[in-house]
Amino acid sequence: MSMKTSHATFKERIDIQMQDDYMRQSVANAQERMFTNRAKAAEALGNWEQWREMGKEIRQHVLENLDYYLEQLSDKVVENGGNVFFASTAEEARGYIEGVLKEKKAKKIVKSKSMVTEEIDLNKAIIGLGCEVIETDLGEYILQVDDCDPPSHIVVPALHKNRTQIRDIFKEKVGYQGTNDPEEMTRFVRQHIRHDFLEADIGITGCNFAVAETGTVSLVTNEGNARLATSLPKTHIAVMGMERLVPTFEELDIVVSLLCRSAVGLPLTGYVTALTGPRESDQCDGPEEFHLVIVDNGRSAILGSEFKDILRCIRCAACVNTCPAYRHIGGQSYGSIYSGPVGAVLSPLLGGYEDFKELPYACSLCQSCNDVCPVKIPLSDLLLKHRRVMAESKLTPLGERAAAGFFNFVNARPALWGKTVKAGAKVANATIKDGKMPFNVGPLKDWTDSRDLPQPDGESFRSWFKNRQQTKGDQQKNEAGDHHD
């Protein structure tokens, strides 16, 4: 799967998604649960605003000194006996990983959850080599067996499915015979993929944060699958976005604290794993070979742009869990592996405006994402910047540009604006009857599809105020006149 997950247009996608009542109920329930848990966890930790500020400063510091920390990380990984590859593009990253697979004559690969491997379309490349690849994160596994259904959430990829739908998928695709009880289904998958872990030649993981000082790759999971994927196969390949690192374990502690609370509302997840290099001679487990693939794929360009704040992102999805637009359209409507507010900012940057031009508009600018982001990314401001870039490079519809031009022409001319308002009030009063207008086209129709128009209050305020001041003035004059008489 690459960044882009659909060939349908945005409108087609939201029309389909919004008719999916199961999805909408699942998303609404999950949002409320995760939002509430996040708020409770933040409250329980105390001084949440200071924690956020610290998270922001750490991430900002790393971005400002990224070259230094990347070099330190790379040197350390090599010193620890690992290999490092810097991939400028998705193609280079795939090429390097394909090379390792060929060299190891790999047949079976187990993966733990990783967004960046989806971004670079890795599974397709692995399958193209004739290898078998098994997603071992439960959510990713569900999607993989469901004919590679695209993820709808960056933390909980199968959020759009309910337990009965999942049971049916397992029944049809992998011969599951049990009930829709989550524990029973999880037990089934656990047993089902156990032999894959044992047989796999290579384990591929993402990387939540790399620690530059020690050359460590850390993984934050809930299922323990990443531990099996990094300890049973002889080779471990970790793939990371080039911005995903922290200077030392001290900062790792802070960002992991923010991540777990913001993502799932818990002080910690089930497993936080720190892997530092391949197995050493005196150790009894771990991979014999370790590769770290550091992916740029457009990130350097973002770093040098007005969108650089988005690179602070720690992929917790708190913004997704609070977004009211996401709530109604679900993750697959975004047509990108990255959905919600973070996806609407990131997808056009990594995948271009052509495929993702609507996403920055799928936002009411309510700013609740800004409020929950643990590293204080001004998401709604970045969405506005996207709109600005598109408007100013004429990527917006001609009619809209003309309307904006006309509006700005009138609005910059006070006398003309005053006349327009007075005329507008007259037209509104003459035409709006019981919430409807006699004509219903364009934006008017878009409004009235769901709601009625307001009942106008008569003449414009400015006409009323002017008359009132005049009357007052006349009265004062008269009073003054009376006095002189």
Partner 1 sequence: MKVNFFVTCLCDTVKANVAKRTVALLEQLGCEVIFPEAQSCCGQPSINSGYVESSKPAMKSFIRAFECNDYPIVTPAGSCAAMVKAYPEYLRNEPEWASRAQAVADRLFELTQFVVRELGVVQLGAKLVGTAVYHPSCSLIRKLGVRDEPLSLLAEVEGLTLLPIDNQETCCGFGGTFSVKMGEISGEMVKEKVRHMSEVTPDYLIGADISCLMNIGGRLHREGKAIKVMHIAEVLASR
Instruction: From 42-50, 108-116, 125-133, 410-418, give the range in contact with partner 1 by CB under 8 A.
Output: 410-418
Restricted to residues 330-349, the positions that interact with partner 1 (CB under 8 A) are none
Q: At its nearest, how many Å lie between partner 1 and the CB of residue 328?
A: 4
Q: Which of 65, 179, 186, 408 binds partner 1 (CB under 8 A)?
A: 408
Determine if residue 418 is left, alpha or beta; phi over 0 gives left, psi from -120 to 50 gives alpha, anything else beta: alpha
Q: Are 229 and 203 in contact (CB under 8 A)?
A: yes
The verdict on 268 binding partner 1 (CB under 8 A) reads: no
Q: Which of 92, 146, 199, 371 binds partner 1 (CB under 8 A)?
A: 371
The verdict on 450 binding partner 1 (CB under 8 A) reads: yes
The verdict on 411 binding partner 1 (CB under 8 A) reads: yes
Q: At its nearest, how many Å lie between partner 1 and the CB of residue 194?
A: 42
3-state SS track over the chain: CECECCCCCHHHHHHHHHCCHHHHHHHHHHHHHHHHHHHHHHHHHCCHHHHHHHHHHHHHHHHHCHHHHHHHHHHHHHHCCCEEEEECCHHHHHHHHHHHHHHCCCCEEEECCCHHHHHECHHHHHHHCCCEEEECCHHHHHHHHCCCCCCCCCCCCCCCCCHHHHHHHHHHHHCCCCCCCHHHHHHHHHHHHHHHHHHCCEEEECCCEEECCCCEEEEEECCCHHHHHHHCCCEEEEEEECCCEECCHHHHHHHHHHHHHHHHCCCCCCEEEEECCCCCCCCCCCCCEEEEEEECCCHHHHHCCCCHHHHHCCCCCHHHHHCHHHHHHCHHHHCECCCHHHHHHHHHHHHCHHHHCCHHHCCCCCCHHHHHCCCCCCHHHHHHHHHHHHHHCCCCCHHHHHHHHHHHHHHCCHHHHHHHHHHHHHHHHHHCECCECCCCCHHHHHHHCCCCCCCCCCCCHHHHHHHHHHHHHHHHHHHHHHHHC
Q: Which of 304, 443, 479, 483 binds partner 1 (CB under 8 A)?
A: 443
Strand-pair partners of 134: 110
**How many residues of this chain interact with partner 1, rule: CB under 8 A?**
65
Instruction: From 194-202, 222-230, 272-280, 324-332, give the range in contact with partner 1 by CB under 8 A.
Output: 324-332
Q: At its nearest, how many Å lie between partner 1 and the CB of residue 143?
A: 24
Instruction: From 128-136, 166-174, 238-246, 320-328, give the range in contact with partner 1 by CB under 8 A.
Output: 320-328
| Closer residue to partner 1 (CB): 22 or 447 | 447
Instruction: From 71-79, 94-102, 247-255, 399-407, give the range in contact with partner 1 by CB under 8 A.
Output: 399-407
The verdict on 377 binding partner 1 (CB under 8 A) reads: no
| Closer residue to partner 1 (CB): 256 or 342 | 342
Instruction: From 172-180, 334-342, 418-426, 474-482, give the range in contact with partner 1 by CB under 8 A.
Output: 418-426
Restricted to residues 7-46, the positions that interact with partner 1 (CB under 8 A) are 11, 14-15, 18, 32
Distance, CA of 104 to CA of 98 (rounded, Å): 10
Q: Which of 81, 286, 378, 456 binds partner 1 (CB under 8 A)?
A: 456
Q: Which of 46, 175, 304, 454 binds partner 1 (CB under 8 A)?
A: 454
Restricted to residues 461-480, the positions that interact with partner 1 (CB under 8 A) are 461-462, 464-466, 469
| Closer residue to partner 1 (CB): 40 or 401 | 401
| Closer residue to partner 1 (CB): 224 or 418 | 418
| Closer residue to partner 1 (CB): 28 or 198 | 28
The verdict on 81 binding partner 1 (CB under 8 A) reads: no
Could you list the residues that contact partner 1 (CB under 8 A)? Answer: 11, 14-15, 18, 32, 324-325, 328-329, 361-368, 370-371, 384, 386-392, 396, 400-401, 404-405, 407-408, 411-414, 417-418, 421, 424-425, 428, 435, 443, 446-447, 449-454, 456-462, 464-466, 469
